[in-house]
Structure 1
Amino acid sequence: MWLGIAFLVLGIVAVVMQAWLWSFPMVPDPGGPDPNGKSTAPKHWTQFHRIVGLAYVIIYIIMMREMIPRLWEYQTELPARTIIHAVMGISIGFILVIKIAIIRWFQHFGKALPALGTWLLYCTVMLSVLSIPYAMRAHGIGMASLASGVEKIRSDMPNVDFDEEIMEWANSLPEIGNADSAEEKKKKLVDHLATKPALTKGRRVLMTKCTSCHDLRTAIARPRPASAWHSLVVRMARKPTIHAPINGEDMATVTAYLVAITPDLKNAAKKRKKTAAPTTPSDTATAALTAEELAGMKETYDEVCTECHEGEKAFEWGAELKPEERTIEAWTQLTNSMTEEMGAEYSETQAQAVIRYLHNVCGDATPNGACAP
């Protein structure tokens, strides 16, 4: 993230200095390398401009060494934002090659340098706008919310049923492996994960291993409960990869980091939802459903609702109500609460399908008060 910010600052400084240096007149320089003449700009500022340009090129090379292999080995279809990001990055390299070639060998094209510098700044700004905000978001909003994040880990992660590979790694740590009981081991594991070194490690896993196959915006698009983050991380770790595998420590620390930044993700989701109108029951919400319609709505429920929690959660909520309280309005209210409190994102059509499905299998008119998928 800081490398990207430095890259943007250097790009702006280089172009501003270029505009200023070109304001100095050129004087004839017979026999010199540049047929356009020799600039009368102060030499120390000209040298400083070259140093800024060199630093810009070095940072670009460092970033491309990281990004080009990732782009080449990306295992999922590239989102539009990532494609634009890649095009801007490649364009910067193309313009840099042209600029360096003009400066070194083709000075008679020197008058094109200001225009090339302007295009270079445009690509740099576009590249930064598409990457830095999401890098800052993944950073936990500058890690300023670590205190609340640690509390979130301590309160939510004891309820997680940790994967065997995570527990194998945890047992290799003396302070955890020597614990007398499984419950004490879990407590010590949670305490270990609720530390700055563990969260720093988790952020690094997210920014390197997770983004090998996923766009960062996709990875942290919505908040999830701790158990859902754990399930998601374990499921992703089990997928075949040509990159470095995600081991037990990686799974544990990145899960903890995602849990820690969940309050920030939730706040961001709430801001996005403020302008969205809440779902209201449709006129056909209580109409009878065919088997095919019910199957389609169940598929929608499984798709959008299990992103954040287990599929049984809604039915557990419904089972706590009396049969006559499981009205279409009650299910609508629950669906709206998911968007407002959990940041769930689904269309109006999907919301209506979920409401009708839940009301059909766990509603106020189901036979014998049944409430089950």
Structure 2
Amino acid sequence: MGDPASIGPEITAKVLDGPGIYDKCKPLIIGDAAVMEKALEIVQKTHLKINPINDINAALFEQGTIDVYDLGLVDVSKLELGRVSPMAGEAAFQYVKKAIELALAGEVDATVTNALNKEAINIAGHHYSGHTEIYAELTGTDKFTMMLAHENLRVVHVSTHVSLREACDRVKKERVLDVIRIADQACKNLGIGQPKIAVAGLNPHSGENGLFGKEEIDEIIPAIEAAVGEGIHAEGPIPPDTVFSKARGGWYDIVVAMYHDQGHIPLKVVGFVYDKEASKWDAVAGVNITLGLPIIRTSVDHGTAFDQAGKGIANELSLENAIEYGILLAKNKKMEE
């Protein structure tokens, strides 16, 4: 459900009232039934019914009814929409924890997360920089990365939620090689038989043969050479100011970005579309997927949007995308088993 003070419950209600969703999967919301009831009022979908449960076997999985695995962590009378609070942060963390537990136990095939607020979960006592790190720790995963996807543009990251200075220090051969391997497997999991992987440089012009930095020579090129030696179709380092356009044009199936904003900015430029005349977001598309985990995790590619919470205007497209990716990954995983 995401942070209960966010747009998460609202876009969840919108998506589950959409056509065909129950023909594709059996959606189960992990959160608070009372918050979802309030969300139905906000988005004017009171024709939907909430089915609170504490056992998956009690779920109905029927169009018109939203099954909520009810953790009962939120006092709705004290919940302030659009505000950071320890109560909301604690609830958001516990929803994620329960989703992971259910997936590890094999009770659900995939998990899809709405946004949580990093400040809220931290003041609630859970010191993580985001979903990715929570999933990694609770599943005991050491080698993992974030992938962003929108249409044919896919990006994975060598580092994410660290300072830019630290991100540069994290560009090491073994880490770059690990991410190339994870990217290759991720594409195969999506049904791409022979993935073509572009590896971005860290520096302008990929260092210009050492003129603007030597990370490409010392770390990135050796990683690419090692990957090619393993039979992976990896190319680079490709200058970061052109690699994403090439991927968008179909030259590559996925791009290995060296740090958070290098990968996030191009994907959000194509996925987030603002209608200036209407003064609203026309589209907020894209998916965030954590790779390298023993379970499937996809997510919306946007934040909690506290400024929109409680207004019923939030765009649900990214959540739709995340569910579609979760379904695709789950189907392909079952075919491999």
Question: Could you say which TM-score interval applies, normalised by the shorter chain?
Answer: under 0.3
Q: Name whichever structure is richer in helix by fraction.
A: 1
Q: TM-score, normalised by structure 1?
A: 0.22
From the CA coordinates, give the structure whose radius of gyration is larger. Answer: 1
